[in-house]
Structure 1
Amino acid sequence: MTSRRASLGGHTYEFADLRALLAAATPERSGDVLAGIAASSERERVAAQGVLADLPLTVFLDEQVVPYENDEVTRLIVDSHSTDAFAPVASMTVGELREHLLRPSTDTTSLAAGLTPEMVAATAKLMRVQDLIAVARRTPVVTGFRSTVGLPGTMATRLQPNHPTDDPAGVTASIVDGLLLGCGDAVIGINPATDSPARTTELLHLIDEVRMRYAIPTQSCVLAHVTTSIEIMERGAPVDLVFQSIAGTEAANSGFGVTLAMLREAHDAARSLDRGTVGTHCMYFETGQGSALSADAHHGVDQQTLETRAYAVARAFDPLLVNTVVGFIGPEYLHDGKQITRAGLEDHVCGKLLGLPMGVDVCYTNHAEADADDTDVLLTLLGAAGCSFVICVPGGDDVMLHYQSLSFHDALYARQVLGLRPAPEFEQWLTRMDLLSDDGRVRELAGRAVRELTAGVR
């Protein structure tokens, strides 16, 4: 790899390889500082961004930040790259790609197969917040299972009814609470307190019974490990979506106990169940900046670039949903509200540019320098950016995972203020249940729906 230099303010900065350049050009975040790869000063960061802006996109096809021979994610990225889709931008630099994406006339959705994660991550490093929003808004990605996610003008929600002991009554009460407030069109998804096949199957049956009883056009998911999902599908469990946390390197995925072959097996098994009605997308992936670093599997690469590499894993399996859990790992990786906001918008646009239906868990841990004002800001910006879905928990406080996320009421706010609608099939159901008024607002008093939905809660 050739070295790259830049002079600024009488000082010459040298970036030994592509990894070093990408890391130095990244807007400040605590994870890169922790890894010892961040720019030493704002002056060095500006110098690196200048070098990066002039870097030809073809460099990313010749230089890999994680060696091809050592990493199956790199092999996936290289082997699946489309030269035809890349052709319209093949002569561009990173800076020119940014300008191209910002032009209103550019069809940003047609480039996905021609862009590598590293190209996309590099371009996002040169964008200010309004750029991240503008490009993402013009890059819709639409998927479907029983509801259609990602249509322009919509924002779906994952209803997350977690319970510290997986108590059926507690889970059901949370599901009803979310449905009454118009949430659940992306998925009703539970993080189980235990990952046993028996408990996972019990929770899937619980959601499925509620869904079928009220003919709700949504999908269920219990966020067990992919191997658990494979096992219970073989036993006939009602699996709609297969979930897995993924990362941007083979070593980090090994830390999650997962390989691309496992994901392929699970995808094929879920597709064979044919449980969807409006589409066949049946995978759900979660990611988050800092996951590779926390597993000591980052190979000296900055966390935003590695996060974007995880999206190459996701897009190989044509998922219904992908979301970054943007503040979940903690302040060691994203220190405060400003860093969380920037990371959430970066992840959202990078995922969309790679062809993914991106959502965001707008969240933070209790020891981070963040609060509800920060989540309000990020939610509003994501709504303006055309975010496919967000995650909502009762009261905004996840009592099982012990972190702060969005509440059901927060989703109502975003839809009402920004003029966004639920997924169309779910919106029709809300109307049938007398939960939605003609102007798209959830009714304050929905007598029949309240009586029907609460009748089964004990």
Structure 2
Amino acid sequence: MKLESEITGETRTFESVREVLAKANEEKTGDELAGIAAESAAERIAAKAVLSEITLETLRENPVVPYESDEVTRVIQDNVDEENYQQIKDWTVSDLREFLVDEQTKESDIQRVREGLTSEMVAAVAKIMSNMDLVQASSKMVITARCNNTIGTEGSLSFRLQPNDPTDDVENILNTIREGLSYGVGDAVIGINPVEDNPDRTKRLLEATHEFIEEWDIPTQNCVLSHLTSQMEAVRNGAPADLLFQSLAGTQKGNDEFGIDVDLLEEAYELGREKCTATGPNVMYFETGQGSELSGDAHEGVDQVTLEARCYGLAKQYDPFIVNTVVGFIGPEYLYDGRQVIRAGLEDVFMGKLTGISMGIDACYTNHIQADQNDIENLAVLLTAAGSNFFITIPMGDDVMLNYQSNSFHDATALRDIFDVAPAPEFEEWLEKEDILIDGTLTDRAGSPEHFLRSD
């Protein structure tokens, strides 16, 4: 296999498909830290040129982590629909890009192709696409899922209501939920990141949110984002969880660092389908983020975009209700500035949707990264145009527990207004019943949590 390209009069030769994938990636500090990034713009362009001519069959036969040593690879490879793969295996990566951006290509066409793809193919095509390509192709793909409501329907945009509290104070959490609901957010999930990760705390927070949802008959779902094992024990002890959550990595070694493996995920999936309080059928929630494998020294010499695509290939196995990437949360060691965060967010939502999962994002940044609120608002606008299923929202865009910045409840109303999109259908109907939304417009109850301090 000859992997070389001549750019600016210099012939550059690459040793492996894995090296081509890494060096074709857009500039990311995480790849630089790992020592696998292109050393110049010319080398990056040369790698992109080589990658564009590689066939999908070559990518299938050269997974970035060997099948024999990595269970993530095995899940991805074993889930390929062989009939669909045979129809596209001779395509080059460039052919796949042309197919995706062709204005004649529809969601039904993409659906047939996606079942024959591996995560390496998904990552490869993202690497040779511009930001606008990613938005255009993403916008064609409609991926729906159902828990207690339906997410991802055409013309809708949902939001996770994240009511974190630095002491896990239940009343503070409920007050944040009341405020968020008054702005029309919370249809993706009411999801709490707990300060204390144990089954008892998990159960207490699940009970509080479940009771509130039941009292107000809200068509949404609850989740406490403790470790999967804490949630499983809580559910076995009677905790009312609609969704089970876990962070994922794109390598077996990375998942070892998270304290999970495929057997545990399978066990959780079966437990969720049996014991979760949601109507379902989708009862899993996963979170990912470019660079997480590198932070645990578990990247196996693979670039962070390809690893991220592999997270989605693993997530697909468990038919999730939602998956979100936290692009700006890990830090400047992986994504240095707003430009890198925006690119990563566009890549991630595109790759998730091309994989076939209900994909969203936490458009966020930490205070030590070279980004600001305008950067993540730019990303939110681009990804609404791209058809992201949901975003995360927090009061005033400032998470007082996790100490980072994200989109606010106000941003949610602005995005729906700009793009003339609605909440999840069942949630929209409920908002209208509560006089919070009329004909797609918020009423004077917006921002007034007092409405939820009385009982009907």
| TM-score normalized with structure 1 length | 0.97
Deviation readout 1:325-362 (Å, 9 max, x if unpaired): 11110011001101000000100010101111000000
Deviation readout 1:110-144 (Å, 9 max, x if unpaired): 22221101001000000001110111111111000
Deviation readout 1:15-68 (Å, 9 max, x if unpaired): 110111001100111111111111010011111100100111100121121011
Matched, 1:212 2:185: no
Runs (5+) with no aligned partner, structure 1: none
User: Does structure 2 conserve the Cα–Cα contact (< 8 Å) formed by 1:111 and 1:353?
Assistant: no
The code of the aligned residue for 1:119 comes to M
User: Does structure 1 conserve the Cα–Cα contact (< 8 Å) formed by 2:165 and 2:400?
Assistant: yes
**1:263 alignment partner in structure 2:** 265
In the alignment, the residues of structure 1 paired with residue 2 and residue 17 of structure 2 have an alpha-carbon distance, to the nearest angstrom, of 8
Deviation at 1:274, TM superposition (A): 5.7
The code of the aligned residue for 2:377 comes to D
**1:358 alignment partner in structure 2:** 359
User: Does structure 2 conserve the Cα–Cα contact (< 8 Å) formed by 1:348 and 1:358?
Assistant: yes
1:131-210 paired onto structure 2 within 5 Å? 131-210=133-212
1:323-334 paired onto structure 2 within 5 Å? 323-334=324-335
**1:344 alignment partner in structure 2:** 345
The code of the aligned residue for 1:99 comes to E
In the alignment, the residues of structure 1 paired with residue 19 and residue 449 of structure 2 have an alpha-carbon distance, to the nearest angstrom, of 57
The code of the aligned residue for 2:65 comes to V
User: Does structure 2 conserve the Cα–Cα contact (< 8 Å) formed by 1:158 and 1:389?
Assistant: yes
Stretch deviating more after TM superposition (286-295 or 9-18): 9-18
SS of residue paired to 1:359: strand
The code of the aligned residue for 1:49 comes to K
**2:431 alignment partner in structure 1:** 430
Deviation at 1:224, TM superposition (A): 1.1
User: Does structure 2 conserve the Cα–Cα contact (< 8 Å) formed by 1:137 and 1:384?
Assistant: yes
In the alignment, the residues of structure 1 paired with residue 226 and residue 79 of structure 2 have an alpha-carbon distance, to the nearest angstrom, of 28
User: Does structure 2 conserve the Cα–Cα contact (< 8 Å) formed by 1:3 and 1:17?
Assistant: no
Deviation at 1:3, TM superposition (A): 4.9
SS of residue paired to 1:332: coil
In the alignment, the residues of structure 2 paired with residue 163 and residue 212 of structure 1 have an alpha-carbon distance, to the nearest angstrom, of 22
Deviation at 1:451, TM superposition (A): 4.3
Deviation at 1:232, TM superposition (A): 1.4
**1:453 alignment partner in structure 2:** 452
Stretch deviating more after TM superposition (182-191 or 221-230): 221-230
Matched, 1:92 2:94: no
In the alignment, the residues of structure 1 paired with residue 403 and residue 326 of structure 2 have an alpha-carbon distance, to the nearest angstrom, of 14
Stretch deviating more after TM superposition (151-160 or 107-116): 107-116
The code of the aligned residue for 1:398 comes to D
**1:224 alignment partner in structure 2:** 226
The code of the aligned residue for 1:297 comes to A
Deviation at 1:86, TM superposition (A): 2.0
In the alignment, the residues of structure 1 paired with residue 116 and residue 227 of structure 2 have an alpha-carbon distance, to the nearest angstrom, of 31
**2:47 alignment partner in structure 1:** 48
SS of residue paired to 1:158: strand
**2:401 alignment partner in structure 1:** 400
In the alignment, the residues of structure 1 paired with residue 449 and residue 294 of structure 2 have an alpha-carbon distance, to the nearest angstrom, of 46
**1:103 alignment partner in structure 2:** 102
**2:8 alignment partner in structure 1:** 9
Deviation at 1:427, TM superposition (A): 0.2
SS of residue paired to 2:165: coil
Let me know the Cα RMSD of the aligned residues: 1.3
**1:79 alignment partner in structure 2:** 78
Deviation readout 1:196-227 (Å, 9 max, x if unpaired): 11110000011001100000000000001111
**2:120 alignment partner in structure 1:** 118
The code of the aligned residue for 1:42 comes to A
SS of residue paired to 1:40: coil
In the alignment, the residues of structure 2 paired with residue 32 and residue 446 of structure 1 have an alpha-carbon distance, to the nearest angstrom, of 44
SS of residue paired to 1:111: helix
In the alignment, the residues of structure 2 paired with residue 3 and residue 325 of structure 1 have an alpha-carbon distance, to the nearest angstrom, of 37
**1:412 alignment partner in structure 2:** 413
Deviation at 1:105, TM superposition (A): 2.7
- Number of residue equivalences: 452
In the alignment, the residues of structure 2 paired with residue 203 and residue 67 of structure 1 have an alpha-carbon distance, to the nearest angstrom, of 41
Stretch deviating more after TM superposition (83-92 or 379-388): 83-92
Matched, 1:59 2:58: yes
User: Does structure 2 conserve the Cα–Cα contact (< 8 Å) formed by 1:358 and 1:389?
Assistant: yes
Deviation at 1:455, TM superposition (A): 3.3
Deviation readout 1:375-420 (Å, 9 max, x if unpaired): 1100000110010000001110111111111100001110001111
Matched, 1:33 2:29: no
In the alignment, the residues of structure 2 paired with residue 8 and residue 406 of structure 1 have an alpha-carbon distance, to the nearest angstrom, of 41
SS of residue paired to 2:173: helix
Deviation at 1:311, TM superposition (A): 0.6
| TM-score normalized with structure 2 length | 0.97
Runs (5+) with no aligned partner, structure 2: none
User: Does structure 2 conserve the Cα–Cα contact (< 8 Å) formed by 1:83 and 1:114?
Assistant: yes
**2:443 alignment partner in structure 1:** 443
Identify if the C-alpha distance between structure 1 residues 136 and 171 changes in structure 2 by more than 3 Å, giving closer, same or farther: same
SS of residue paired to 1:179: helix
In the alignment, the residues of structure 2 paired with residue 394 and residue 248 of structure 1 have an alpha-carbon distance, to the nearest angstrom, of 31
User: Does structure 1 conserve the Cα–Cα contact (< 8 Å) formed by 2:240 and 2:276?
Assistant: no
Identify if the C-alpha distance between structure 1 residues 446 and 40 changes in structure 2 by more than 3 Å, giving closer, same or farther: closer
Deviation at 1:82, TM superposition (A): 1.1
Stretch deviating more after TM superposition (367-376 or 110-119): 110-119
**Aligned residues: percent identity?**
49
SS of residue paired to 1:254: helix
In the alignment, the residues of structure 1 paired with residue 446 and residue 314 of structure 2 have an alpha-carbon distance, to the nearest angstrom, of 43
Stretch deviating more after TM superposition (301-310 or 75-84): 75-84
User: Does structure 2 conserve the Cα–Cα contact (< 8 Å) formed by 1:229 and 1:266?
Assistant: no
In the alignment, the residues of structure 2 paired with residue 446 and residue 285 of structure 1 have an alpha-carbon distance, to the nearest angstrom, of 30
Deviation readout 1:428-457 (Å, 9 max, x if unpaired): 00000000021x11113369x85440237x
In the alignment, the residues of structure 2 paired with residue 77 and residue 292 of structure 1 have an alpha-carbon distance, to the nearest angstrom, of 17
**2:308 alignment partner in structure 1:** 307
SS of residue paired to 2:282: coil
The code of the aligned residue for 1:62 comes to E
**Structure 1 moving runs of 4+ over 4 Å:** none
The code of the aligned residue for 2:261 comes to T
The code of the aligned residue for 2:179 comes to D
User: Does structure 2 conserve the Cα–Cα contact (< 8 Å) formed by 1:274 and 1:280?
Assistant: no
Deviation at 1:172, TM superposition (A): 0.7
In the alignment, the residues of structure 1 paired with residue 331 and residue 112 of structure 2 have an alpha-carbon distance, to the nearest angstrom, of 35
User: Does structure 1 conserve the Cα–Cα contact (< 8 Å) formed by 2:60 and 2:120?
Assistant: no
